[in-house]
Amino acid sequence: MKKITIKRKYLAFPYAIFMLLFVLLPLALIVFYAFTNADGSISLENFINFFTDGVTFNSFLDSIWIAFITTVICFVIGFPVAYILANKKYNRNKTLFLLFLLPMWINFLLRTIATRAMFEAFGSWLDIEITFGKATTIFGMVYNFLPFMIIPIYSTLSSLDKSYTEAALDLGATPTKVITRVILPLAIPGIISGITMVFMPTLSTFVISDLLGNNLVQLLGNIINLEFTQNSWNYGSALSIILLLLMGLTMFIEKKYNNKTQTAGGRIW
Amino acid sequence: MKNKRLTVLVLLTLLLATILIPVLSGCNNNVIVLKVYNAQDYIQHGEEESVLRDFEKYYLEKTGQKVRIQYDTFDTLERAYTIINKREAEYDVMCPSDYIIEKMKKNDLLIELDKNKIPNLSNIPPYLLDRNFDRGNKYSVPYMWGTVGIMYNTDKVDEEDVKNWGLLWNDKYKNKILMKDSIRDSVFIATIYAYREELEELAKTATPEEYRDKISDLTNNITADKLALVEKELRTQYDILYAYEVDSGKDSMINGEAYVNLAWSGDAVWAIEEALANGINLDYYIPEEGSNVWFDNWVIPKYSKNVDIAHEFINFMCDPDIALRNMDETGYTTAVISPDIIDYMTDEEVDANDFTYLFEDNDGNISAENRALIEYYNDEYGIDFSALQIPELTMPSTDSAERLVEMTDFGEKQDMVVKMWTRVKALPLGLEVKIFSILLAISIVAIIAYSIYKKIANKKLVAGKIEQMGNSTAAVSGNFFSNISTKTKDLFATTKKKFTALSDSFKNKKSENDKIDNNDQQDNN
């Protein structure tokens, strides 16, 4: 029987076609719409509007701020959790880790609706008035994206050699110093990817702010949604591109930083 | 090996069969697919009873032709319009609202109806026909209609506040007020509210028709000045709102979370019923300044493939029995009038009202034909249109109807209105956000400046070193040791040659090694 040989690169063809049709083509369309106005002629009108209409740019800053706050809270909660989970004493058989992953098995939309219902239930039990707005939106974002902070930090920390901390302790470092001088620097690759994985989706989401902000909180994602549903695709596309550029920038910084830490790590090893 | 091949063959044939059988059988029976496009939950289409399934049966009996209805729904009219306009979707029948019909008409997206094929049109009273958006009903046939008003919690809202649109701006109910997250409706209402004083003055002297014209002019001919006023009102309202909503408001009212809600009459019917089960009493009223009356009509979009069956479908929807079933299911008021439907709408607890306006044409006259019809209803069924006990929720009373106005399409001003809407919702930047943004900007500038500085400094350093080296060798060779320098130059040249030869051989060796490595790796793979 003749041996059928398939060159390995052919295996990538389906994905290449998929990329072309569902990633590159839509992207090209977005770019096209962004640089044309409603009449179909080429213009920079949309980008000028972004800075001058006095609303969108403010919402943009607001979105960055909310994403920043969410990321900080996620880090403050997520790092200690990841640290504890990475310790085999508490997380034998990885059951605890699994418990933290469990909420992610439920659909994101359902989770957000459930969060809303929880707020309402607590409000009526404790007889306090819960006003849905920025605070509840941030809560929902933290709740939804916390696992994305925990997982990368957890995986870097759990692959960390325990002897570093032992050596540091033997050499007379206090426990706080061990964390700040040894563990934290070594966990940086995980922290950076955790930050990007939380920061980027929070920047563009609009469902959480709609549901938990009672449609009163307007982030950039909400404006993009509005522009597209109101039939003005050009401005919506321009805003999407701005968001895309910002995400690209975050990715770029992450990559640069990660490369650096890796070379630093190389020296240590 | 043979077994494996056999199983593959069997599996393949099975796969082919599953794909081909439905396709082939479909061809044999020659089923025509009628594509219907409608809002969600807007027709009786359940497991047990469905007007769509009944139409399929009806059409089969009538013509012997099998029709299958493909029923698709849209969430917002704007999106549905985009799908027809930009994607040229081949829907046969669609049910948009008045202002969208106007827009579709303007953009040549509708097929003119052949009224001979819709005899049931006679079941629809004149009030619903010949409207602004489609004079003479050339393109559309009414399906449902209703009003926009305020739904409120009767236990929490004081009776004295229940009269005008001011309730939606009343800060007594701070954080208990719901507004529609639908630009068209909210702007309409906010415009009436913004001009409430002017309208009140006018109401004292003007005839109903003049008054209606004024509201229509205010709400439909939007200008930048008007929009600025409206923005101010919506901005004030923003601070006392519980939420902007489209669908969730009904639930908030039923749960008692909110007390006041801008509502469509059909939604209110449903909510009031549901709330009773929760022990919460809701009611609905049309504010005295006047409001919006809307019509959802059946149309045939331009890209329809089955225009004849579409006509038949529209006619079927105007059948009194079918209309009643749809009304019962959705809670909205059907456009069709029949003794059974009037019976269904009647509520003994409501005061009697005059509904003869249903039979008035645009000039307020009732034709002889319709007069005869009114008399026929009275004689035959005891239905007196001048005194019917129908709640305002189902059909507006004469007083309200006098002040109801249709919406028209904003057209090119749409963008301006959307911009205004985003301004209403945009909170002024908080101090923390401002500080954060400034810090962010400074740090970004600092990082860029630092990296540029570092690059330049590096270049300078390198350039300086090279220069230094060049200078020193020149000085040395020029003044004292010119002989030696030429000799050293020669020496340099020869060593360089040797060195390059050596490095070349290294390189060759290395690339050979690489090749071997690669081969090894490939073999491993």
B175 with A131: Cβ contact below 8 A:
yes
Q: What is the ipTM of this complex?
A: 0.79
Contact indicator for B242, A214 with CB cutoff of 8 Å: yes
Q: Give the contacts of B269 (CB within 8 A, at least 6 positions apart).
A: B331, B332, B393, B394
Query: For B422, which of A55, A62, A131 is closest by C-beta distance?
Result: A55
Residue type for position B453: Y
Please report which confidence band the pLDDT of residue B520 belongs to, taking 50, 70 and 90 as the band edges. Answer: low
Q: pLDDT by residue (tens digit) across B315-350?
A: 999 999 999 999 998 889 999 999 999 999 999 888
Of B78, B181, B257, the CB nearest to A215: B181
The mean predicted confidence, pLDDT, of chain B is: 86
Q: Closest partner residue to B244 among A61, A214, A230, by Cβ?
A: A214
Share of chain B above pLDDT 90, in %: 50
| Residues A56, B257: C-beta atoms closer than 8 Å | no
| DSSP one-letter code for B351 | P
The residues, any chain, with a CB within 8 Å of residue B416's CB and separated by 6 or more, are B222, B224, B227
Residue B116 and residue B114: Cα distance in Å, rounded?
6
Mean pLDDT of A162-186: 88
Residue B169 has pLDDT above 80, yes or no: yes
The answer to whether the CB of B282 falls within 8 A of the CB of B154 is yes
H or E element in which residue B211 lies: helix B208-220
- B415: helix, strand or coil: helix
Mean pLDDT within A34-55: 86
| Distances from the Cα of B366 to the Cα of B124, B137, B354, B373, B439, angstroms | 14, 18, 14, 11, 72
Closest by CA to B263, choosing from B479, A116, A245, B254, is B254
Q: Report the alpha-carbon distance of residue B94 to residue B133 in Å, rounded.
A: 16
Mean pLDDT of A85-110: 82
Whether A81 and A100 have beta carbons less than 8 Å apart is answered as yes
Across B27-108, the runs of DSSP E, i.e. the strands, are 32-39, 67-74, 93-94
β-pairing verdict for B67-74 and B32-39: parallel
Q: What single-letter amino acid sits at B244?
A: Y
Model confidence pLDDT, tens digit, residues A223-259: 998 888 877 888 999 999 999 998 888 888 777 766 6
Inspect the interface and report whether the beta carbons of B76 and A229 lie closer than 8 Å. Answer: yes
Structure tokens at B469: 């080296």
Q: How confident is the model at residue A89 (pLDDT cuts 50, 70, 90)?
A: confident
B333-334 and B140-153 beta bridge pairing: antiparallel
Strand partners, B207: none
Are A232 and B422 in contact (CB < 8 Å)?
no
Query: Phi and psi at residue B146, in whole multiples of 5°?
Result: 180, -170
Q: Give yes or no for residue B27 having a pLDDT over 50.
A: no
**Which residue's structure tokens are 């109801």?**
B404
The residues near B258 (Cβ < 8 Å, ≥ 6 apart) are B153, B176, B177, B178, B242, B243, B249, B252
CA distance B167 to B193: 10
Q: Is B336 helix (H, G, I), strand (E, B) or coil?
A: coil
Pairing of strands B291-299, B140-153: antiparallel
Going by C-beta distance under 8 Å and a sequence separation of 6 or more, which residues neighbour residue B429? A58, A61, A62, B437
Confidence of residue B187 (pLDDT cuts 50, 70, 90): very high
- Out of B243, B428, B429, the one facing A215 most closely (by C-beta) is B243
* In the predicted structure, residue A263 carries a pLDDT above the cut 50: no
Residue A202 exposed, middle or buried by CB count within 10 Å (0-12, 13-18, 19+): buried
Put simply, the answer to whether B426 touches A218 (Cβ < 8 Å) is yes
What's residue A52's pLDDT?
A: 87
Six-digit token string for A180? 């700040």
Confidence of residue B517 (pLDDT cuts 50, 70, 90): low
Q: Residue A265's pLDDT is what?
A: 39
User: Has residue B136 got a pLDDT over 80?
Assistant: yes
Query: Which secondary-structure segment (H or E) carries B149?
Result: strand B140-153
Phi and psi angles of residue B288, each rounded to the nearest 5 degrees, phi first: -70, -20
Torsion of CA B184, B188, B190, B192, to 10 degrees: 180
CA dist., res. B367 & res. B361, Å (int): 8
CA distance B39 to B80: 9
Query: Treating both helix axes as pointing N-terminal to C-terminal, what angle do A56-86 and A220-229 enclose, rounded to 10 degrees?
Result: 130
Enter the tokens of residue B461: 């350093």
**Least CA distance to B80: which residue of chain A?**
A229
Amino acid at B279: G
How many angstroms away from the CA of B272 is the closest CA of chain A? 21
Cβ within 8 Å, pair B414-A227: no
Q: Please, are residues B334 and B327 in contact by the beta-carbon 8 Å criterion? A: yes
Q: Cα separation of B240 and B261, whole Å? A: 13
Cα-based torsion angle of the residue sequence B128, B131, B133, B138 in order, rounded to the nearest 10 degrees: 90
**Beta pairing partners, B142:** B297
pLDDT at B461: 80
> In order of start, what are the domains of chain B with their CATH numbers?
147-292+411-428 (3.40.190.10)
Mean pLDDT is lowest, of A121-130, A134-143, B31-40, B68-77, for A121-130
Nearest CA in chain A to B183: A230
Tell whether the model's pLDDT for residue B515 goes beyond 80.
no
A contact set with B (CB within 8 A):
38, 53-56, 58-59, 61-62, 64-65, 68, 120, 129, 131-132, 214-218, 222-223, 226-227, 229-232
B423 with A38: Cβ contact below 8 A:
no
The alpha carbon torsion through B186, B187, B189, B195 (nearest 10 deg) reads 150
The residue assigned the tokens 């006619």 is B315
* CATH superfamily, with its number, for domain A55-230+238-268: MetI-like (1.10.3720.10)
Q: Output the six-digit token pair for B201.
A: 């003055």
* Cβ–Cβ contact B242 with A under 8 A: yes
CA–CA min distance A149, chain B (Å)? 22
* Residue bearing the bigger pLDDT, B503 or A122: A122
C-alpha span between B289 and B252 (Å, rounded)? 26
Split at pLDDT 50, 70, 90, the class of B263 is: very high
Query: For residues B175 and A19, what is the distance between their CA atoms, to the nearest angstrom?
Result: 47
Question: Tokens representing B73?
Answer: 């729904």
- B354: amino acid identity, one letter: D
Task: Please judge whether B414 and A230 are an interchain contact, meaning their C-beta atoms are less than 8 angstroms apart.
Answer: yes
- From A4's Cα to the closest Cα of chain B, the distance in A is 15
- Alpha helix (H) residue ranges in chain A: 13-19, 25-34, 45-52, 56-86, 95-101, 108-125, 134-158, 162-170, 175-177, 184-186, 188-204, 207-212, 220-229, 233-268
What's phi and psi for B153, nearest 5 deg?
Answer: -85, 115
Least confident segment among A86-90, B421-425, B434-438: A86-90
Q: What is the pLDDT of residue B484?
A: 57
Residue B80: name the closest of B91, B66, B67 by CA. Answer: B91
| List of chain B residues whose C-beta atoms are within 8 Å of the C-beta of residue A32 | none
B303-339 as b/e: b if 16+ CB within 10 A: ebebeebbbbbbbbbbbbebbbbbbebbbbbbbbbbe
Q: Testing the interface with B: which of A215, A217, A225, A233 to mutate, by most B Cβ within 10 A? A: A215
What is the distance of C-alpha B357 from the center of its chain? 32
The CA-to-CA distance between both ends of chain B, in Å, stands at 25
Q: Is the pLDDT of residue B406 over 50?
A: yes
| Chain A residues within 8 A of B79 when measuring between CB atoms | 229
Separation in Å, CA B377 to CA B125, B272, B385: 13, 30, 8
Q: Would the pLDDT of B23 be above 70?
A: no
